Structure 1
Amino acid sequence: MIVVTGAAGFIGSVVVSALNAAGHEDLLLVDTLGSEGKFKNLRAKAYRDIIDPIAFLEALPEIAEEIDAIVHLGAITDTSAPDADAMLDSNTHYTQLLAQIALENDIRFIYASSASVYGDGALGFSDDDALTPSFKPLNPYAFSKWLFDAMAIRHGWTDKIVGLRFFNVFGPNEYHKARMASVIWHAYRQVQETGKIKLFQSHKAEYADGAQERDFIHVDDLSKVILFFLEHPEANGIFNLGTGKARSFNDLAAAIFQSLGKEPQIEYIPTPENIRNAYQYFTEADLTKLRAAGYDEEFLSLEEGVDRYIQGYLVKDDPYV
């Protein structure tokens, strides 16, 4: 049996679909469904049951011998949420408990970290373990992810588990995330409603408006990497998970208009004051460790990924995986 936490969410539900496609149907899904329509993400998929995260933690010691792997994707993911204690409890300590039980019972453990641990990027974006203690994350979410990474390194767990630092993930099944959904989702809706896309102005002289860069990765590529680590238990450690190529928001907007067959229309607006000081102007995954671990598949380009998302899902009557 494989356990997937955060299974009703954006990334979790796509991973469940990828596991089904690979022949895995004995899945235990851990999540809460809430009232945002997350249940739609789990339709037309095969799994054993859905269980609440706290109930799962309580049951885990008793059912551990049935479990082959835990893919831990559940977390509070709102990067602007101010409650650091809630983040610490949900994102750090819950992960710690799962990891310890997994290690004690020889269960494959793969967890979601975040590229936000790199802070303003002053130390670069290398997933070299030696650099992690020196990172200065910029918000409570990033801190909670950094803290568990540092804990795993300090205790030597990274010799036996896998952490994946997700960069900017986009793709289908993110519709319940509202303002926390990807820029692609929001930009697509803006084009449909107004014919134009709003991007943040630059507040740094060295960057033109819309020239801020991110490493955008399609959720399908992310799922492939997770399946790779499930199939290769000898590969362990903390790894970046992006495409390895930063692209600008202007490029992103152009890709959206291209997919829709429209001429680009962009409006630049001020970056909100409450996120301006923590805003990253450049992120790009260093994939040296991931490639050394044996993952050699190519990632979708920004244009390919955006077109797959829009034409494969967003323009459809049923946009779900």
Structure 2
Amino acid sequence: MKYIENSLKNKTILITGGAGFIGSNLAFYFQENHPEARVVVLDSFRSTELLSNGNLKSFGHFKNLIGFRGEVISGDINDKDLLLNLETNYKFDYIFHEAAISDTTALEQDLMIRTNVNAYKDLLDLALKHGANMIYASSAATYGNALSPQRVGYESPQNVYGFSKLCMDNLSREYMGKSDSKIVGLRYFNVYGAREYFKNTTASMILQFGHQILSGKNPRLFENSDKILRDFIYIEDIIQANIKAMNPKESGIFNVGTGKARSFQDIVDILQNELGTTLPCEYIPNPFVGSYQFHTEADISTTKEALGYEPCFEMEEGIQAYVGEIRRIYEQEVKK
């Protein structure tokens, strides 16, 4: 779906984290809907480098970009020489900043702040020098255990990832109004959809439950999963919000969710209906009681007003749209 009608001819777009989940979806959105735009993807791509928790440092994967015809750069946003090259040899009109250390269980606070906050400041400086609009990924993790519905201005991060994203938002506010460049932070809630598989264990529970069911295993849920609710948002609505944030009425920080909380039990029930299975659920004790969000729900009133954003996918529709890809990934990546 094309979310803006104006031409992007002679416009140059930078997507950081462009081999990741959301970044790669943005790259293909522009290729399919605005082929007249020049799209440059920057990603550090995955290596064997691990965080201390055993997870990969970078989730970017070349398979997310198979079929993409734009320019691809391998590089780390912490690299000052790389940023100088981008400043000198390009003239960006829009920067979509999706690159981050996004593992919420990462213990490396120094790396998290350096990558998510300090490098973002360098990219903001680049945006202002180029007169580019900046659209960047913030996160619902900024809210921590704040009461639902979560509203901008009522944050209480519970991990260094959420703290780093809140620092980004605070930094953005300092830059807003310093030039003609617009700066928009989008606080993503629980995103699911195509090209998330290479996030490994941090991929959505929708994908993980789907693969459990396809493998014939009983879905394993925490006890009282019908009472654990999240604002799950399909990737197409995330892309819509990003595109509508390109030329906003005003700079700002905005929630991107559906505005509706759904349970983990709902996910399994919808998946089983779509996959034609009736596997019994197994319920296990929740080891995260006390450090676990039991209810998230985005207040999207200001997002609708400022960006013209309107979520199009209920969970039933999102899973229905996604289930073919869940099957394909299972056959081509999981079973092999």
Instruction: Determine helix, strand or coil for the equivalent of 2:170.
Output: helix
- Is it true that 1:152 corresponds to 2:172 in the alignment? yes
> 1-side partners of 2:95 and 2:60: how far apart?
25
Deviates more, 1:166-175 or 1:52-61: 52-61
Give the letter aligned to residue 89 of structure 1: R
Unaligned runs of 5+ in 2: 1-11, 48-58
> 2-side partners of 1:299 and 1:264: how far apart?
30
Give the letter aligned to residue 47 of structure 1: G
Give the letter aligned to residue 45 of structure 2: L
The correspondence for 2:71, drawn from 48, 55, 74, is 48
- Is it true that 1:222 corresponds to 2:256 in the alignment? no
Instruction: Determine helix, strand or coil for the equivalent of 2:208.
Output: helix
On the 8 A contact 2:225/2:263 being kept in 1, the answer is: no
Q: Which structure's residues are more often helix, by fraction?
A: 1
Instruction: Determine helix, strand or coil for the equivalent of 1:76.
Output: coil
RMSD of aligned Cα (Å): 2.1
| 1:124–1:294 Cα change, 3 Å | closer
| 1:107–1:154 Cα change, 3 Å | closer
Give the letter aligned to residue 21 of structure 2: F
Match of 2:45 in 1: 33
The correspondence for 2:226, drawn from 187, 210, 219, is 210
Give the letter aligned to residue 157 of structure 2: P
The correspondence for 2:192, drawn from 153, 157, 170, is 170
On the 8 A contact 1:28/1:51 being kept in 2, the answer is: no
The correspondence for 1:12, drawn from 23, 34, 40, is 23
Trace 1:175-194 onto structure 2 (pairs within 5 A).
Answer: 175-194=197-216
Give the letter aligned to residue 86 of structure 1: L
On the 8 A contact 1:254/1:264 being kept in 2, the answer is: no
1:165-198 Cα offsets, whole Å, 9 max, x none, are 0000001111111111110111011112234211
1:27-46 Cα offsets, whole Å, 9 max, x none, are 11110222478101111112
| 1:123–1:258 Cα change, 3 Å | closer
Unaligned runs of 5+ in 1: 202-207
- Is it true that 1:263 corresponds to 2:285 in the alignment? no
Deviates more, 1:14-23 or 1:69-78: 14-23
The correspondence for 2:303, drawn from 272, 290, 294, is 290
Q: TM-score, normalised by structure 2?
A: 0.84
Aligned length: 303
Instruction: Determine helix, strand or coil for the equivalent of 1:315.
Output: helix
CA displacement at 1:157 relative to structure 2: 5.4
Q: TM-score, normalised by structure 1?
A: 0.88
| 1:296–1:67 Cα change, 3 Å | closer
Give the letter aligned to residue 142 of structure 2: V
> 2-side partners of 1:294 and 1:78: how far apart?
28
> 1-side partners of 2:332 and 2:306: how far apart?
37
Match of 1:299 in 2: 312
> 2-side partners of 1:186 and 1:80: how far apart?
18
Aligned-pair identity (%): 35
